[in-house]
Structure 1
Amino acid sequence: MKTLIQKIHVEEHRSFACRTYKTPNFETAWHKHPECELILITEGNGTALIGDYIGEYKEGDVFFLSPDLPHWFRKSEHTMVGSAIVIHFLRDFVGEVFLSLPELKSVARQLESKDTGILLQERLSCDVAVLIKEIEQAEGLTRIQLLLNCLQRMGSSTAQRTITKAFDTLTGGEEDALIETIIDYSFKHYLGPLSLKEVAEIARMSIPSFCRFFKRNIKKSYFDFIREIRIGRACKLLRETNRPILDICYDSGYNSWPNFSKQFKDVTRRSPSQYRKEHLSHH
């Protein structure tokens, strides 16, 4: 089984890693690492699992992840090509003394957060995406200057959304592999009926033990986790297709309109029709 801790390779002549990961190397398991991660999605779309956050990712999205924050980017279609430029760097890659300089206050501010995932917004996302692409091609001191520029812009901008915070996991090898197995099984079967008995058997646990295990590691109940995946699919279909809302209800794992409508409102704070109208008004 794969381990949760990912070892990041950094060349001897460089202080941080920046490289493109493309299918099949884009596909990684539920994992974490001691480095900060700045990631630009360059191809594909799907579901991002970052700490206790479950949401969509798409081409052009930029995420900033604090050290040791478990995450997993799953493509929406198995045959789709996924690709991202990923920067991995230790929080003190320029040295604590340099980082404490008053001129780097905004950079230090960006790096202060722990167990936090951030999705960049609006113009900030576009500006940082351009810099990330430049970093991949740059050499020498220019690489460090460009990365510091990224962090400075992020640290001095409010155009970012915190998607998970204070997510701390104490799991070890066997538990990490089990989490991966549960999540993988769930994504393959979430459109059909799922029972706690069925998933607990996959985990080789009693139902109460499974519920405690999942809540301790993912910070939400198993059915809340499944609901967010299903509603995420419904949101995508509402935005990207003209299909009737009732069809979308049935194609998102629900067999009851009242239940779907209630669950959708609980997650998005609006009805499916309101969600579709709001999306159309922004395009």
Structure 2
Amino acid sequence: MKTLIQKIHVEEHHSFACRTYKTPDFETAWHKHLECELILITEGNGTALIGDYIGEYKEGDVFFLSPNLPHWFRKSEHKMIGSAIVIHFLKDFMGETFLSLPELKNICRPLENNDTGVQLQGQLAEDIAVIIKKMEQEEGLERIQLLLNSMQKIGSSAEQRTLTNAFDSLGGGAENALIETIIDYSFKHYLDAVSLKEVAGITRMSIPSFCRFFKRNVKKSYFDFIKEIRIGRACKLLRETDRPVLDICYNSGYNSWPNFSKQFKDVTKLSPSQYRKQHLA
């Protein structure tokens, strides 16, 4: 099982990493690293797990992740090609004195928060996507200038949505291997009637121990985790198909319309029909 801590390789002639990860290199498991991460999804779609956030990602999405924030981008289909341009940089890669300059106030703003993940929105996401694509092609000072320019734009714009905040991952290597196993199992079986006894069994824990372990590491109950995965699938089907809502209910892991309707509203704050109407407008 892969360790959670990922070692980022930076070429000798660069001060930070900027490269495309494409299938099979795109398929990294639940992991974290010391570097900040700026990521542009260039191909594929699926589910993003960022700290305690579970949601969809698609081509064109841009995320900024603080250091040591566990994350995992899982493709919606195994045979799909996944690809992203990913920038990894240490907060002080240009030195602490440089970042203390008053002219760099906006650049430092997104670097101040730890364990935080944001998704860029609207025109900001479009602008940063253009910069990221240029950055991958540049060398030398131009490359650094593009990174500083992107952080300046992020730090001075409100077009961003906080996905997770102050997420503190306490687990060590062995615990994180278990979390990866649980998440992988859950994505393979979330459409089934998963029981706590069943999932606790794969960790060789008692049910109470498993529940405490999962809540401590993922900051939510196991059934809340499953609920968010199922509702995420339902949202995708409501947006991208014209299938009847009841059919979508039964194809998202639910066998009860009242339960599906209640949980859908818990997650989205809308009824399924309201959600579809809003996203087809």
C-alpha displacement at 1:164, in angstroms?
0.1
Residue of structure 1 equivalent to 2:196: 196
* Gapped regions of structure 1 (runs ≥ 5): none
Distance 2:159 2:90 in 1: 24
C-alpha displacement at 1:263, in angstroms?
0.5
- 1:49-60 alignment, distance < 5 Å: 49-60=49-60
- 1:68-107 alignment, distance < 5 Å: 68-107=68-107
Distance 1:109 1:180 in 2: 32
Distance 2:203 2:246 in 1: 34
Answer yes or no: is 1:220 the counterpart of 2:220.
Answer: yes
Residue of structure 1 equivalent to 2:8: 8
Q: Letter of the aligned partner of 1:35 in structure 2? A: E
Distance 1:7 1:218 in 2: 22
Distance 1:171 1:132 in 2: 32
Distance 1:130 1:275 in 2: 31
Distance 1:269 1:144 in 2: 42
Q: Letter of the aligned partner of 1:175 in structure 2? A: E
Residue of structure 1 equivalent to 2:144: 144
Q: Count residues with an aligned counterpart.
A: 281
Identity %: 81
C-alpha displacement at 1:121, in angstroms?
0.3
RMSD: 0.4
Residue of structure 2 equivalent to 1:42: 42
Q: Letter of the aligned partner of 2:244 in structure 1? A: P
* Normalised TM-score (structure 2): 1.00
C-alpha displacement at 1:94, in angstroms?
1.2
Residue of structure 2 equivalent to 1:19: 19
SS at match of 2:110: helix
Distance 2:264 2:101 in 1: 48
SS at match of 2:184: helix
Q: Letter of the aligned partner of 1:169 in structure 2? A: S
SS at match of 1:163: strand
Deviation track 1:32-61 (CA, whole Å, cap 9, x = no partner) reads 000000000000000000000000000000
SS at match of 1:254: coil
Distance 2:94 2:111 in 1: 12
Residue of structure 1 equivalent to 2:181: 181
Residue of structure 2 equivalent to 1:241: 241
Distance 2:200 2:177 in 1: 15
SS at match of 2:49: strand
Kindly report structure 1 stretches of 4+ aligned residues shifted beyond 6 Å: none
Residue of structure 2 equivalent to 1:30: 30
C-alpha displacement at 1:103, in angstroms?
1.0
Q: Letter of the aligned partner of 1:19 in structure 2? A: R
Residue of structure 2 equivalent to 1:162: 162
C-alpha displacement at 1:167, in angstroms?
0.2
Q: Letter of the aligned partner of 2:262 in structure 1? A: K
Residue of structure 1 equivalent to 2:66: 66
* Normalised TM-score (structure 1): 0.99
Distance 1:263 1:70 in 2: 26
Distance 1:2 1:201 in 2: 21
Q: Letter of the aligned partner of 1:164 in structure 2? A: T
Q: Letter of the aligned partner of 1:52 in structure 2? A: D
Q: Letter of the aligned partner of 1:73 in structure 2? A: F
Distance 2:64 2:109 in 1: 13
SS at match of 1:176: helix
